[in-house]
Homo-oligomer: A and B are copies of this chain.
Amino acid sequence: MTNKRRRYAILTPGDFDDTRAKTAHGVIAYAQDETIAVVDPEHSGKRVRDVLPYLESDAPIVASVADALAFGPTSLLVGVAPPGGGLPDAWRGEIIAALEAGLEVVSGLHQTLGDDPEFARAARRGGATIWDVRIPPPVPLFSGEVYGVEARVVLTVGSDCAVGKMTVALELTKAARERGVRSQFVATGQTGIMIAGAGIAIDRVISDFASGAAERIVVDAARDADLIFVEGQGGINHPAFAAVTLALVYGAAPDALVLVHEPKRETVSGFETPLLSYRQLIRTYEGLCAGVKPARVVGVALNTRALDEAAARAALERAREETGLPADDVVRFGALALFDAMAPAFAAKTQALRASG
C-alpha cells in the first residue's frame, strides 16, 4: 500500500444499492483511502449507511460530480463493473467533469480510459491524471528472487472464482495487525488494487510474465511486512482461469495456503465442471507446490452469506471434519479466531526445492 491517502468520490450511477457496485462497496469497506462522497442521482440525499447499514464508515450521496466537489475529493473512482467491462456513454459527462476539475480518475474497467481522446483532452485541460488499474506495468520474467523474501507469504486459494479470496486476505491482514504483526495485503485484481492503492491485475499480464508479475508485487510488499496475505485468483480446476491461479501459486511462492470456499456452490463459475472436494482441492494445490516450493493448506475460510447461522455452523463443522484444519467465516464470525488458530503455521518459511545433484 502507498502512504498517500486519496479522498474518493465514487461514481455508481443508479447502482449504489446493487451488487454491480461491489467495487464501490469493497473500497468503502476496506480501502485505506477515504470515501468522501458517492455520486448516484438515484440515491442522492441519503447517506452511504442508509443503503448499506452494515458498513462502519459513512459519507453523503450526491447527484453529480459537481456536487461532490464541495467535499474536497482528490479522485473519482468508477465504482461499478458493468457487464462486459465497457463504459456506459451516460457516464462520460461525469468523468469529463471530474478530469476538468483536476480530479484523478481511477477505473478498473477493461476499457482503457487513458486511451480515450476526449478524456485525454479533458485531463490536459484540468491538469488531471487517469489511473487504469487493470493495465499492468512492464514486469520481468519470474526470476526466483521471491525465494529470498524473509516475510512469510500466505496465499488464499479457492474452489472457484468470486468465493471471497480477496476478502479473506484483507480480513486476515487486519487480524494480523490487531495481533501486532507487521502485515501487508497484496492485491492481484482490480478491486483489490483500488483498495490497496497498489498491485497488479495478474489476469491482464501476458501469460509468459504472469508469475513474474506475482513475484514482483510480493517482493515489493515484503519490504514493509513480516507476514503477507496475497489475494488468490480463479480456481485450480476452472477451465478458463486456472492459468492465472497457477501463476500466483508459483509466482507468489507462498509458505502457506488458506483455502476459500462458498458452500452450496456446486460447479465452477460459468461452466458445468463440478467443484473439487476439500480433499481434492488440498491435494491438488499442495501437490503443485510440492514440485517447486512446498506449502500446506493451513486453514479453511468459508463464505456462508447464503446460509442461516445454524447452516453456517454446520458447514464449518463439516469443513473441519473433512480437512482436519481450522475453519471459519471471517466476515460472519470475525477473523481473529481463524488467524489465531493458523498463526503457528504462519511462523515458518518454506524453501524452494534445490536439486540435490
Contact = CB atoms under 8 A, between A and B. Distances in A.
Contacts of A293: 239
A288 B293 CA distance: 18
A152 B307 CA distance: 43
Given A210-B207, A354-B272, A247 B243 contact: yes
A303 interface: no
A266 interface: yes
A243 B239 contact: no
A105 to B, nearest CB: 23
Given A266-B357, A273-B353, A246 B240 contact: no
Contact of A208 (B142, B244, B272): B244
A31 to B, nearest CB: 24
A288 B272 CA distance: 16
A141 interface: yes
Contacts of A283: 287
A274 interface: yes
Interface string A131-151: 000000000011010000000
A203 B284 CA distance: 23
A204 interface: yes
Given A267-B355, A273-B353, A292 B144 contact: no
Interface size class, chain A: 35 or more
A23 B156 CA distance: 41
Copies of this chain present in the complex amount to 2
Interface in A20-65: none
B202 A207 contact: yes
A236 interface: yes
Given A208-B204, A208-B244, A210-B207, A239 B354 contact: no
Interface in A225-259: 236-237, 239-244, 246-247, 250-251, 253
A243 B212 CA distance: 11
A107 interface: no
A19 interface: no
B240 A142 contact: yes
A206 interface: yes
Contact of A288 (B141, B241, B284): B284
Contacts of A212: 240
Residue from A210, A266, A355, A357 having most chain B Cβ neighbours under 10 A: A210
Contacts of A274: 353-356
Contact of A242 (B204, B240, B241, B246): B246
Given A206-B207, A284-B291, A355 B239 contact: no
Contacts of A280: 291
A142 B244 contact: no
A205 interface: yes
Contacts of A331: none
Nearest to A234: B208
A222 interface: no
B239 A142 contact: yes
Given A203-B208, A204-B206, A206-B203, A251 B267 contact: no
15 contacts: A202-B207, A204-B207, A208-B244, A211-B239, A211-B240, A211-B241, A211-B242, A211-B243, A239-B292, A242-B247, A243-B244, A267-B355, A273-B354, A280-B291, A284-B287
Given A204-B207, A242-B250, A243-B243, 4 more contacts: A203-B208, A211-B242, A236-B288, A272-B353
